[in-house]
Amino acid sequence: MTERTERKDDDHSIFVGGKPFMNYVTGVVMQFTTQNAKEVIVKARGKFISRAVDIAEVVRKRFLENQVELGNIKIDSEEFENKEGRQVRVSTIEISLMRK
């Protein structure tokens, strides 16, 4: 019998957008340190995908070096109609970071 209750992985994710870079880094680090997450998923769409990779790399190589490693990385895309009625495709990424 374990003392703490099990959480679903999806409870620990962060969606990357246009806020300052360090907001996201701190957000991920805090989920590991103060919320005791075993896995945090860094998610992004479109042009923010590059940023999500930067954030994951800075967390695992600098802030939580030797404590966190890369898990699964998923990419996908969704097609939808934009305001002008044109079909547009937007790519997505999900990067899993896991406590070692």
Minimum CB–partner distance for residue 54 and its own copies (Å): 5
Task: Say whether residue 47 binds its own copies (CB under 8 A).
Answer: yes
Within 10 angstroms of residue 11's Cβ, the number of other Cβ atoms is 12
Residues 64-83 that bind its own copies (CB under 8 A): 70, 73-77, 79
Q: For residue 51, give the nearest of 27, 78, 84, 35 by alpha carbon.
A: 27
Residue numbers at the binding site for its own copies (CB under 8 A)? 46-50, 53-54, 56-58, 61, 70, 73-77, 79, 89, 91, 93, 95
